[in-house]
Structures are given as C-alpha cells and as structure tokens.
Amino acid sequence: MRRFLKIVLIGVGALVGLVVVALSALLAGFYWNAGRSDWPRAGEIATRPRPASPPGAAAGSEAESGAGKQILFGDLHVHTSYSTDAMVQGLPLLGGEGVHPPADACDFARFCSALDFWSINDHAESLTASEWETTKAVVRACNDVAGDPDDPDLVSFLGWEWSQGGLTPETHFGHKNVVLLGTADDEIPARPIAANAAGNVVWGLLGLGMSLRDLDRWDEYADLHRATLDTFARETCAEEVDVRDLPPGCHEVAETPDVLFEKLDQWGHRALVIPHGMAWGITNPKANDLAMQLRGAMHDPDRQRLLEIYSGHGNSEIWADLPDAHVDEKMRLVCPEPTERFEPCCWRAGEIVRARCVEPESRECQYQVDEARKRGAGVGPLLPPTGAVLHSTIEDFGECGQLRGAFLPAFDYRPRGSAQYALATTRFDGEADRRSFRFGFLASSDNHRARGGSGYKEFGRTAMTDGASMGSDWRDRRAASFYYTGGLVAVHAPARDRESIFEALERREVYGTSGDRILLWFDLLGPDGERAPMGSEVASATDPAFEVRAVGAFEQTPGCPETVTERLTPERLQRLCLGECYNPGETRRAITRIEVVRIRPQVEPGERIGALIEDPWKVLPCPGDPSGCRVTFDDPDFVGARREIVYYVRAIQEPTPAVNGDPLECVRDDEGRCLEATVCPGGGAEGPPVDDCLADVEERAWSSPIFVSPAGE
C-alpha cells in the first residue's frame, strides 16, 4: 500500500511539474507580448530630505531621559512588491494599487509616516539576484538623501525575511526578520538567505489565475509574471559550501534556524534576527511551540535578542491556556468545553445545530449536536469550521477560535507562540543544561504595500493594513477583520546615527507601540542611585524597585505638513500617503494607567506556565495628565522567591478610534458571549464597499523586560 501511495505521489508531483512548466511557458509568451522589460523596477526617490525632525519623531529629550538619550521611532518590518504575496495583493482584481517598489518604502517612511529609521524585509524565498541588487541600491540611495550620516533625517537598514513553515511543532520555526547594520558590499552577505528553494510559487500561480480572468488588463499583471518567471529560473546554491565560496547570483537556502545562524556566522557581519508572528494562526500549526526552538543551535541568543510583540497582523503578547479540538490517547476526536476566554469552533458548531432544533433539550437534538462537534473537531487546516455545519455562515461562528478580551489579537491565536510564553518557558536537557529566551520587545507594521509606520493615523484600511479580503471564505474574509494599522519600534539612543540605533537594539533598550508615538521609560532603581534601563539583566541581593514614566502621543491634525507638500507632487502624495501624513498638533493624549507584568521563568520541568505569569501583577493608575505619568513600585517577594523574575510594563493610553478596533463586532448576551459576529467588509474590485470599521481601543506601549536574578546565583 505504501509503495502504491508513493507511486501515486510521484505521479502527482510529475504532473504538477509539467503544469508549472506549461504555465511558465504561457506566462513567458504573454509577458513578452506585453512588451515589459523593466522588472525589477526600483522607483524614484525624492531627492530632498526632511528639513528637521518633526515634533514627536525624536521627542525624548536629554533632560527627560536622564541618560543623554532620545527616543527614536521606526519600523523594522516593511515589505515591497518584491515580496510575491505583496505583489499579488496589489493586483487589479483584488482592488490593489499596483506595484509599490522599494523607492516607495523610502519616501513613505521619510514623508508620510516621518520615521527616524526603517528596514526593508522582503521575503528571501521570492527575491531574485536582480531584485536584491536593486534593493541594495535603493536603500543606499535613501541613505544618501538623508544628509549628515551623524544626524540623518532617516536611517534605512537593509534586511530580508526568512519565512519557514512546518507541519509539526518539531519542524516549524516560523518567520524571522534579518536586519543588517551595514549597507556596503563588504559589510553584508552577498545574497539574502531563504528558508526554502521553491519561492512563493503558490502566490505566483494565484496571480496567473487572476490575470486569466482579467485579460483586458493583462499589462497590469506583467510585473508579477516576470517576477514569477525569474523566481523559477534561479539556480539554488550548493549545500555545505562556505558562503564566501558560492557564486553571487545563486539562491541560498537555510532550511532551519541553526543553518541560518551558521551562515551569518560565516559572513561575520553584525545582524539581528527577529522572530515575529509566532502566535498567528494563519502561518503557524495549532501545536506551534516556541520551546522547540530552544533545542541545540536553533536559538542564537546573540542575534535573536528581540521579539516582535505586535504588528499590523495583531497582538502576540498574551499567554492563555486555550482548549481546542484534539485527539486523545485512544485516538478519539475530542471537542472540549469553552472557557471564559475561548470557545472552540467545534463546540460552536454544536451550538449552531442546537439552535436549529425544534426541541433543543431532546435526545435526538443532542445526538445531532454531538455529531456536529465531532465533525468540527476533525476539521483540518484546509477546511474552515463552516464545513462542520451545512448552510452555516462565517457570522454564525461568532468569535470561536479567538482569544477573547485581548487587545487587537492575532487571528486564530497560538498561545505557545506568544511573548509571555517565550519568557516563561525553559528547556531542560539535563540538570546542568537549561536554556531560555531573553527577548526584548518591539513592534512594527509588516505592511505589504511599502508603508512602514502605517499607524500614524487610523484610516485607509485596505491600504494601511493587509486587510483587503481576497475571497469569501474563512481564512480570507474573517481573517481580514484581524488586520490593523502597524506598530512601531522605539529605541533609547544617544544620537540619531545608524550605529547608535543598532546598538540600542542590541542592548534591548527598546520598546514597541501599537502605532501611537507614546514615550516610555522603564528603569530598575539601584541602591547606589544607578539606573538599569529596560532590556537589562541585573543581579540583586535586595528586593528590586522600579520607576516607570510615560507620555501619551500627540493628537494628529488633518493633512500633511508643508515640508512634505513642498517635496512630493500632489499625485505622489496621494498615491503614497493617501493625502494624510504624520502631522502632530500640540496636544498629547493622556496615559490612564501603567500595567506591570511579572513572570517567573521555569526552573523545574513540569512547572505550569499559567501559574508563572501574573498579568497584570500590578495596575498603577495615572492622573490622566497630558504631560505624562510617573509611578514607582517594588517587589517585596523577590528575595524570598530565590529565583529569576522578569518584569515588563504596559503604558495604556486613553481610548481612541482604531481600524478594526472591534474585529468581529459581536452581538453579546448578558454574560458577554458572542452570539453573532459581523465581519468587516473586505474590498477587492468585486467585493463590497470598503469600511474602516473604526472602534475605540486603548493604544499602548510595551517595554522590553528587565531580567532580575538573585545575587550570587
């Protein structure tokens, strides 16, 4: 039987290969007939810098920080149309805007969102040698426009995204952004390092299918077709060859993190590797577990010093023990009962059936309910929960499968990929070998339209987020309600130059915001008057004391500053910024409270994660003064605990409207349960009208943790 299945699989693989070759030939013919030969397009960068840092962009002063440092805001997760998924999202049939090349990312960061720094992070799996060369040239040109390298208006970092996926926790390592310090050829790898050799073939074939439905506008699809052909034509680099001995134009692959780290070691250049999206259900299997990445050399503590806690794809902060459908020890499908924070979709399937029963309490109805739950428990990753109940809709399933009550949560939540789980878990390989993560926290956008720092204003849902729906099914239309405007990374740096920013990232003196430019300081107060800032590792013989200071973001005014309208044409201003820029007024929003989270990392196998995370451990109210909030606290339990304890804080801002602020707009019963969901209208050329789906949220900033261990241990 196995041999038969193997023969069948080989035959299917060969057939797929022939189809791909045939489609590639078809693409080539149409491409050349379209007459396009200018891919990869770089775009044109505006040649004048910002005249000065705008208010709020470098808003921390030396007097405020007390350490000769300022706060600078950036985005370390920006995609252009060189990422195939980004290019597909720009197609006309999806209501897309067309190609956004790297030059758009430079000008958007400089003029629309007025960032202090950013990095380009297109998917290495789909990048070709020519696209990489163009990327380098654009990033260098963006830096050339920035003025004095010691005091630039904008620092542009070079990088890429390593995007891996496995079907099991043991083989799944997820997505990681590589950010490089240097930009010159002798300071960077010769080529980006991908997780696989195939590239985004599925995205390319999806684009082909769309273009065949839209032949009248074939020319608008030509860039995607050329990029897809170039991806197919790449030569994969030889394995187990030193990176410096490989030909420059080949496609380099590292299928696991240890190989990625080994290759970066061979180059020897300074680089950060930043995991992200580990709690997203879109890209992670249900059993995803960050602890698996503590095996052997799968984690590099020198390069993996930061974790993206929030992005436009949602919040990945919170640990919660979410019961979900599973197979028990007797290989039976089990649909667990709901909890206060989570309703399994298999359970909801049963409730939908019960509501249809003429006699809901009858034995026959209960049988139908149980059967629906069994079907729901057996639903796989390719079949949405609606497949468990005939004639059911996305709205019928309420908020099942979602983390209830969380701030802007990621879709289809995976708690063992969360930031809190990462800080609490420890891998034990023998009594003397304990390994854990010591991540600092940042946020970014993960915007796929070259719009870094897209959360400066809450508008333009299908342009400033990735929330344009590509279909009518569960993963597309429902997931589109869980895309938000982007977050920001903030650093405490002594100067605006490249080295100062990168060093702040390396020492974890960094925090993330949900998009607003909240100012945040979090320090451990030493007995000798010294301060240890966020990201520090401290040994203490006494109970530690801390100080938190936070100032809310500036209220925004309509339109763009005159300095922007002088530098961009009206047409480019509208295409890039949609006519709206970061344009702060003079009033700041109020910080309402400081929340303190205390986590005790595991010191023995079997310690329950939920018992080690106290969230919130303390809630410290703020007076609501726009000038800011300053609070102190200590931990009288530290010395007696005789173990390492990790602390971080959230600064919570007064409620303001946000895109997709209430992702499912649930109709709730008296106990808060979601009876029916309302999915935000999606977009696309053939979809319903686009709505920003605004709802009030409490924007926030997350500090990097401070790691405190007992002195002498």
- pLDDT band at 200, cuts 50/70/90? low
Domain spanning 518-558+588-654+698-713, CATH class: mainly beta
For 359-397, write each residue's pLDDT tens digit: 999 999 999 999 999 998 887 655 788 889 999 988 899
Tens of pLDDT, residues 341-363:
899 999 999 999 999 999 999 99
Q: How far apart are CA 432 and CA 262, in angstroms?
A: 25
553-571 burial by CB neighbour count: b if 16+ within 10 A, else e?
bbebeeebbebbeebbeee
Domain borders along the chain are 43-197+236-321+408-516, 326-397, 518-558+588-654+698-713
Helix, strand, coil percentages for the chain (3-state, nearest 5): 30, 25, 45
Q: pLDDT at residue 470 above 50?
A: yes
Select 43-197+236-321+408-516's CATH number: 1.20.140.10, 3.40.50.1100, 2.102.10.10, 3.20.20.140. Answer: 3.20.20.140
Q: What is the share, in percent, of the chain residues with pLDDT greater than 90?
A: 66
Mean pLDDT over the full length of the chain: 88
At 543-573, the pLDDT tens digits run: 999 999 999 999 999 999 999 999 999 999 9
What gap in Å lies between CA 581 and CA 572, rounded to an integer?
Answer: 12
Report the distance separating Cα 214 and Cα 211, nearest Å: 5
Instruction: Taking residues 405-427, report their average pLDDT.
Output: 94
Residues 522-539: tens digit of each pLDDT: 999 998 889 999 999 999
Burial class (CB in 10 A: 0-12, 13-18, 19+), 17: exposed
Mean pLDDT of the region 322-337: 79
- For residue 656, what are the β-bridge partners? 697
Residue 56: its pLDDT value, please?
45
3-state SS assignment for residue 521: strand
Other C-beta atoms closer than 10 Å to the C-beta of 236 total: 13
Closest CA relative to residue 706, chosen from 649, 652, 651, 650: 649
The band of 675, judged by pLDDT with boundaries at 50, 70 and 90, is: confident
The helix (run of H) or strand (run of E) holding residue 71 is strand 70-78
Does the structure show a pLDDT above 60 at 584?
yes
Q: How many H helices and E strands in the chain?
A: 17, 32
641 token code pair: 């605990």
Most confident of 336-345, 462-471, 683-692: 336-345
Q: How far apart are the first and last CA of the chain?
A: 58
Note if the pTM is more than 0.75: yes
SS3 of residue 358 by DSSP: coil
- Can you tell me the mean pLDDT for 657-679? 89
Asked if the model's pLDDT at residue 258 lies above 90, the reply is: yes
Better pLDDT: 464 or 37: 464
Query: What is the pLDDT confidence band of residue 475, given thresholds at 50, 70 and 90?
Result: low
Lowest mean pLDDT among 246-255, 321-330, 491-500: 321-330
Q: Does position 142 have pLDDT exceeding 50, yes or no?
A: yes
Distance CA 707, CA 527 (A): 17
